Amino acid sequence: MVTVKDYAESIPITWCPGCGNFAILQALRKALVDLAIEPHQILFVSGIGQAPKLPHYTQGNIFDGLHGRTLPAATGAKIANHELIVLGIDGDGGAYGEGIGHLLATMRRNVNITYMAHNNQVYGLTKGQASPTSDTGFVTRTTPLGASQSLNPLALALSSDVSFLARGFAGDVEHLSGLLKMGIEHRGFALIDILQPCVSFNHRNTFQWYRERVYKLEEQGYDPGDKTAAFAKAQEWGDRIPIGLIYRKERPVYEEQLPALKEMALVKQKIDPLQFEALLDEFM
């Protein structure tokens, strides 16, 4: 039986004491144990930042690649071996800054990947610069005049017809763990935006600030199948911030439509040069 011990860290953790990432890691471990997934079944794909270090602090196969390029690498790996459970992990810089184009493309394709965006609204690893989701006007060393209009990842995801969209909060491990489980079990691409206070560089959006504002959609009789309602919830920010399952829709999964994967995983298929004689005939 899989237990939390199977998901112990591989190397010492270097996050700041009190970092929201600890709670996210705890929620993820719980979700994986609850789903009885073994570490070798998982492929973590991550980029660069504090959040993308997470795979090294637990157990699984890991492809820790370039900043912002998590989703293309995850997509390639998923197509090559669709039997792997692929989890993408990035911060708001990788997910919504450097990698925003890939996020849009991957949501459109609807590859079966669960993508965790640890959204602390600031760049941690490079020590405190504005991120795409920083509050508008957020003053940092790279934005002395204030950050530009804040990006709304939820509305963006909905406009790309994302098939699973949730928002969790690092301050509620149990709730977040439930969302992660749903995301992993979802057939298709799942974006889980995680509100994650940064104790070192974001003194505005703190645990306390969030606790006073977040509320759970499932306690409100909310219908996650209603896209118009989802767009409305995606606009809500400030005094009240919704968390929970924002939107879910079944639609065709990219790799399930590939004829090449019908019989077995691509990686299990043998290479046979002799099968191509008929192609040579076409040039004769």
Angle of CA points 82, 83, 87, to nearest 5°: 75
Report residue 67 as tokens.
Answer: 């900043």
If one counts every other C-beta atom within 10 angstroms of the C-beta of residue 227, the result is 14
127 lies in the site for other proteins, by CB under 8 A: no
Q: For other proteins, which residue of 4, 8, 13, 66 counts as binding (CB under 8 A)? A: 66
Closest contact distance (angstroms) between CB of 83 and other proteins is: 6
Binders in 229-258 for other proteins, by CB under 8 A: 258
The reply on whether position 157 binds other proteins by CB under 8 A is no
145 forms part of the interface with other proteins (CB under 8 A) = no
Decide: is 165 part of the binding site for other proteins (CB under 8 A): no
Under the binding rule (CB under 8 A), the answer on residue 36 touching other proteins is: no
Nearer to other proteins, 145 or 271 (CB): 271
Distance CA 272, CA 77 (A): 22
Query: Across-strand partners of 90?
Result: 117
Return the residue of 1, 36, 145, 274 that touches other proteins, per CB under 8 A: 274
In terms of CB distance, is 172 or 255 closer to other proteins? Answer: 255
Burial class (CB in 10 A: 0-12, 13-18, 19+), 275: exposed
Q: How far apart are CB 113 and other proteins at their closest, in Å?
A: 11
- Using the minimum distance from each CB to other proteins, give the nearer residue, 174 or 281: 281
Q: What letters, b where the CB count within 10 A reaches 16 and e where it falls short, cover 41-79?
A: ebbbbbbbbbbbbbbbbbbbbbbbbebbbbbbbbbebbb
Interacting span for other proteins (CB under 8 A) from 155-163, 180-188, 203-211, 262-270: 262-270
Among 27, 32, 43, 151, binds other proteins (CB under 8 A): 43
Stretch that binds other proteins, among 79-87, 129-137, 178-186, 220-228 (CB under 8 A): 79-87
6 is a site residue for other proteins (CB under 8 A): no
> What's the DSSP call for residue 135?
P
DSSP 6: G
Answer yes or no whether residue 40 interacts with other proteins by CB under 8 A: yes
Cα–Cα distance between 255 and 261 in angstroms, integer? 7
Nearer residue to other proteins within complex by CB, 80 or 199: 80
Task: Evaluate whether 133 touches 91 at the Cβ level (below 8 Å).
Answer: no
Q: What dihedral angle (degrees, nearest 10) is formed by the CA atoms of 136, 199, 98, 159?
A: -60
- Scan residues 89-118 and list those touching other proteins (CB under 8 A): 101-102, 104-105
Cα–Cα distance, 107 to 246 (Å, whole number): 15
CA distance 7 to 33: 8
Q: Report how far residue 201's alpha carbon sits from residue 124's, in angstroms, rounded to the nearest whole number.
A: 7
In angstroms, give the least distance from the CB of 231 to other proteins: 24
Q: Which residues bind other proteins (CB under 8 A)?
A: 10-11, 38-41, 43, 45, 48, 53, 56, 59-66, 69, 72-81, 83-84, 101-102, 104-105, 258-261, 266-267, 269, 271, 273-277, 279-280, 283-284
